[in-house]
Structure 1
Amino acid sequence: MTDLFSKFDPLIETREQLLSTGLTDPFGLVMEEVVSPTVAICSGRKTILLGTYNYMGMTFDPEVIAAGKKALDEFGSGTTGSRVLNGTYVGHKAVEDALKDFYAMDHAMVFSTGYQANLGIISTLAGKDDYIILDIDSHASIYDGCALGNAQIVPFRHNDVDALEKRLKRLPPEAGKLVVLEGVYSMLGDIAPLKEMVAISKAHGAMVLVDEAHSMGFIGDNGRGVAEAQGVIDDIDFIIGTFSKSVGTVGGFCVSNHPKFEILRLVCRPYVFTASLPPSVVATAATSIRKLMHGKAKRDHLWQNSKKLHAGLKALGFKLGTETPQSAIIAVILPDLERGAAMWEALLHEGLYVNLARPPATPGNMTLLRCSLCAEHSSEQVNEILGMFEAAGRRTGVIG
């Protein structure tokens, strides 16, 4: 009998080799207490958090927490139903209204996770005879949405405008086409050339979907993402986002101005066949989103943090994923998984948590230490972080 686990044997062996050296499991860290958006207690010691995607630091905002507690008292712990049955409360409409106001768009549809937002919208829009043209470095949820809808998948080289145009030119003019892009790519923290890509997509009769999960709240004058920053937000058909990053809770969404958008509520399987978000979650999300509309000071400080950390790591001799800071994500490229894991543990020993990202999740089979800055990190904490990177880098031989 075939062992269905046998396909995982190489990964099992790699993991066992790493842990056999006494290394702390980098994918099994337990946070015993979360003190603030930037500090937690891990393994009994105070640890600065630099790998949480809590970009705008909203998780401990007093008004956000109060809204969640109030909804928990008034509506209970969950809806126990789908949005198309008993699972739409006033809070679900309120968070969709907040999203429409935030993006200045006509329609907003909330999902139980950001993963489900991509899974649902992509698989529903593009079917068997349609084409999805996507950046090869797209998130797993985007690829899974393509697979669920059974569309024809046409990948192109990462952030390559000419490659996108060549792919579009080869497709039948009459076919349904959806170009899927991301504002910020989560592994290296680099941004997409949306201005050029959207123009090319429209010229070839394609609809455009942009995932702004890692830019919402932070990038753009109003925090609407890379599409806003590059002046093309009105030319994009669908924007996907998540509540689990800048908004500080959990959930996903799609906003759009398409006049037929509302029919998706009846035909999108990951929306129809999933219980809706708990009332306390949508209350925290709605409150957070409305506060992010007035978050310019936080956005400015986060950019300062990003520039300072990027410049400091570069000066220490670390190899980074981008030449200049493009987002709140700064990726440190390591030579291999062994030294990446050693560096990750050395940083944890210093009192710093970052993400260890490994192949095949990373582009080009790179091993990365991914840093996610927060608007609540103080300038002094960024100095501390740089000192921790220097100490860990020298101890592990990653820098000289």
Structure 2
Amino acid sequence: MSRGISQSDQPIERSGDGTDLFSKFDDIIALREGLLASGQEDPFSLVMEKVLSPTRAICNGRETILLGTYNYMGMTFDPDVIEAGKQALTDFGSGTTGSRVLNGTYQGHKECEDALREFYGMDHAMVFSTGYQANLGIISTIAGKGDYIILDIDSHASIWDGCAMGNAEVVPFKHNDIEAMEKRLKRIPEGAGKLVILEGVYSMLGDVAPLKEMVAIAKRHGAMVLVDEAHSMGFIGENGRGVVEQAGVMDDVDFIIGTFSKSVGTVGGFCVSNHPKFEIMRLVCRPYVFTASLPPSVVATAATSIRKLMHGSNKRAHLWENSKTLHKGLKDLGFALGTDEPQSAIIAVIMPDLEQGAAMWEALIKGGLYVNLARPPATPANMTLLRCSLCAEHSESEVAQILSIFEAAGKQVGII
């Protein structure tokens, strides 16, 4: 969604050939202005004036329950995590002012990668400045011109951008369709480099990939496998290692991509791998080589959080209970949901259209509940969704309150 673009009495300055380079955004500008014409709050410009806890904040002047932050394990206010960040800030300063291959590798970066290797039980770990850059860097570096990438059509934008940057041949298949994936693999020329890209949990509907079957097929056809576990790390699997652990395929995947901005509770991205040549990536991966490294306070909080997630079984159990309770409650109220059963910490509530979705979002925020309004083209099948992201720190009473706010808003807007 474009932000900060408003109507003006001044004429638009155009480039030399008379073409306005912003004209391609006219439809989305009109859509946004249409939504705001009635005085409705902008769902894409929410301001949090103060964050009170992992589950509550002051938003637009109101105390609000947070149900759209990806803070799955509630680590943002963990006392040990905060203390680690404060100490690193004192000891190492506010930033590195350099890339990892120059002056930007501090002791904290190595400790963070050590924590990741221990968490996943893998030989190699590489930390990026964002999760987006992890996908962009790894995918574009290992799959280039003449190689083939076979990926789920609903893959995250960072995955698609990594494919484009590497200039590989991209072969998409229908979402979570095992048969369609195998058909695509059979058409790849003999001897060509092949990379299958999957996600553990897909962020829009919160549904889980059939990794056991898909990874087996990929390996049978000689493809390497990359799995993005951004929305499952810390929560899914006996040790929180994601859907790859739950499906029993950790030893079969070549790369696991993840982020620190979800369950870990800070910012950054990573890739772990057992490939014997993986360390060369530090010299050939452009988004790693040419980006300033994460600040010392960030990698200190990440490392502390990751090590605590290794022992987060109680939190994981509580988060599953929250997910089951909210999914059943919303279903019983009559809302249409993205999955028949809860599969992750994401529960997507399907709206009839964007206008009613925006009205529902506004009714929720005024009732004291923040969720994500997701709209086409970011959503599958042109759906408008209210995307709910549960947290392990949500109490039973907060989940009950969430359901009460949804019921009142749904009746007010006429959704239920």
The TM-score range, normalised by the shorter chain, is: over 0.9
Query: Aligned partners of 2:89, 2:34: CA distance in 1, in Å?
Result: 45
- Kindly provide the amino acid, as one letter, of the partner of residue 163 in structure 1: A
Number of the residue aligned with 1:364: 381
Query: Aligned partners of 1:67, 1:170: CA distance in 2, in Å?
Result: 51
Q: Partner of 2:251: helix, strand, or coil?
A: helix
Give ranges in structure 2 of 5+ residues lacking alignment.
Answer: 1-17
Counterparts of 1:114-153 in structure 2, within 5 Å, are 114-153=131-170
Q: Deviations over 1:82-135 (max 9, x none)?
A: 000000000000000000000000000000000000000000000010000000
Query: Aligned partners of 2:244, 2:102: CA distance in 1, in Å?
Result: 34
Equivalent of 1:205, from 222, 234, 240? Answer: 222
Asked whether 1:327 is paired with 2:344, we answer yes
Equivalent of 1:111, from 128, 131, 155? Answer: 128
Asked whether 1:186 is paired with 2:191, we answer no
Equivalent of 1:100, from 84, 92, 117? Answer: 117
Number of the residue aligned with 2:171: 154
User: TM-score, normalized by length of structure 2?
Assistant: 0.96
Q: Partner of 1:332: helix, strand, or coil?
A: strand
Number of the residue aligned with 2:400: 383
Query: Aligned partners of 1:3, 1:196: CA distance in 2, in Å?
Result: 49
Q: What is the deviation of 1:44?
A: 1.4
- Kindly provide the amino acid, as one letter, of the partner of residue 288 in structure 2: Y
Asked whether 1:354 is paired with 2:371, we answer yes
Asked whether 1:43 is paired with 2:60, we answer yes
- Kindly provide the amino acid, as one letter, of the partner of residue 91 in structure 1: G
Q: Partner of 2:40: helix, strand, or coil?
A: coil
Asked whether 1:165 is paired with 2:149, we answer no
Equivalent of 1:224, from 228, 231, 241? Answer: 241
Q: What is the deviation of 1:214?
A: 0.1
Query: Aligned partners of 2:343, 2:29: CA distance in 1, in Å?
Result: 35
Q: Partner of 1:255: helix, strand, or coil?
A: strand
Q: Deviations over 1:152-177 (max 9, x none)?
A: 00000000000000000011120000
- Kindly provide the amino acid, as one letter, of the partner of residue 349 in structure 2: V
Give ranges in structure 1 of 5+ residues lacking alignment.
Answer: none
Query: Aligned partners of 2:334, 2:190: CA distance in 1, in Å?
Result: 49
Query: Aligned partners of 2:20, 2:217: CA distance in 1, in Å?
Result: 47
Q: Partner of 1:297: helix, strand, or coil?
A: helix
Asked whether 1:214 is paired with 2:246, we answer no
Query: Aligned partners of 1:14, 1:205: CA distance in 2, in Å?
Result: 46
Query: Aligned partners of 1:149, 1:242: CA distance in 2, in Å?
Result: 21
- Contact in 2 for aligned 1:65/1:284 (Cα 8 Å): yes
Query: Aligned partners of 1:75, 1:236: CA distance in 2, in Å?
Result: 36
What is the aligned-residue RMSD (CA, Å)?
Answer: 0.3
Q: What is the deviation of 1:45?
A: 1.3
- Kindly provide the amino acid, as one letter, of the partner of residue 51 in structure 2: V
Number of the residue aligned with 1:287: 304
Equivalent of 2:49, from 29, 32, 37? Answer: 32
Q: Partner of 2:88: helix, strand, or coil?
A: helix
Equivalent of 1:13, from 13, 17, 30? Answer: 30
Q: What is the deviation of 1:201?
A: 0.2
- Kindly provide the amino acid, as one letter, of the partner of residue 302 in structure 1: L
Query: Aligned partners of 1:173, 1:96: CA distance in 2, in Å?
Result: 36
Q: What is the deviation of 1:43?
A: 1.6
Q: What is the deviation of 1:343?
A: 0.1
Query: Aligned partners of 2:138, 2:60: CA distance in 1, in Å?
Result: 40
Q: What is the deviation of 1:317?
A: 0.1
Query: Aligned partners of 1:233, 1:283: CA distance in 2, in Å?
Result: 26
Q: Deviations over 1:282-305 (max 9, x none)?
A: 000000000000000000000000
Number of the residue aligned with 2:106: 89
- Contact in 2 for aligned 1:129/1:152 (Cα 8 Å): yes
Equivalent of 2:253, from 236, 251, 263? Answer: 236
- Contact in 2 for aligned 1:173/1:204 (Cα 8 Å): no
Query: Aligned partners of 1:99, 1:357: CA distance in 2, in Å?
Result: 31
- Contact in 2 for aligned 1:173/1:205 (Cα 8 Å): no
Asked whether 1:245 is paired with 2:262, we answer yes
Number of the residue aligned with 1:265: 282
Number of the residue aligned with 1:67: 84
Query: Aligned partners of 2:404, 2:231: CA distance in 1, in Å?
Result: 26
Number of the residue aligned with 2:69: 52
Q: Partner of 2:407: helix, strand, or coil?
A: helix
4+ residue segments displaced more than 2 Å: none
- Kindly provide the amino acid, as one letter, of the partner of residue 212 in structure 1: E
Query: Aligned partners of 2:367, 2:135: CA distance in 1, in Å?
Result: 37
Number of the residue aligned with 1:313: 330
Q: Deviations over 1:330-386 (max 9, x none)?
A: 000001000000000000011000000000000000000000000000011000000
Number of the residue aligned with 1:392: 409
Q: Deviations over 1:208-238 (max 9, x none)?
A: 0000000000000000000100101110000
